[in-house]
Amino acid sequence: MNDAHYHLLLNHLPILGSLFGALLLASGFFTKSVSVLKAGMTTILIVSLLTMPAYFTGEAAEEVVEHLPGVRHDDIEAHEEAAEFALWAMGAAGAAALMGLLTTSSRSSRSQRPKTWAVVTLFVTLGAFGVMAWTGVTGGQIRHSELHQEKLIAPAPADKK
């Protein structure tokens, strides 16, 4: 295995994990279960930490693929920019989840603060998921030329005379 393999193995965790955490958190609201809310926030916190290895293996993966045929430098740059924003977005979701867990665990858990942090965590995580998904799309375009919009339009057939 090389560095590109490690990046490919890790980069799906933040995308799918953020979606799973958001769904778990939302189900905690519907079931009115503090335990499920805690599980959702814990999941989001863990996923935010797992985002770092996915991000930091990207540079080494670039070294592996940047000189391969068909790889465009613009695609790598677009992915890098999206990944940096995604790292910050998931970090914000993790911070909100941590605040929610700390307020839920405190003696003031009967107050409205834990629910407020759970709502903030849910919305920030949904935004982070969107950014993560876009980052995945831009990463896929590096080696999957069929994902480029300009290549999806078939040329008009030539007139045969």
- Residue 152, domain member (yes or no): no
- What is the reported pLDDT for 96? 96
Is the CB of residue 42 less than 8 Å from the CB of residue 105? Answer: no
Percent of the chain with pLDDT over 90: 52
pLDDT at 29 over 60: yes
- Residue 160, domain member (yes or no): no
- Residue 156, domain member (yes or no): no
Amino acid at 34: V
C-alpha 6/C-alpha 2 separation (Å) is 7
Mean pLDDT of the 30-59 span: 93
CA dihedral (101, 104, 125, 52) in degrees, to 10, reads: 0
Is the CB of residue 63 less than 8 Å from the CB of residue 6? Answer: no
Model confidence at 141, pLDDT cuts 50, 70, 90, reads: confident
- Residue 83, domain member (yes or no): yes
Mean pLDDT of the 11-21 span: 95
- pTM of the predicted protein model: 0.81
Q: Considering the chain, what is the average pLDDT of its residues?
A: 85
- What is the reported pLDDT for 25? 95
Total tally of structural domains belonging to the chain: 1
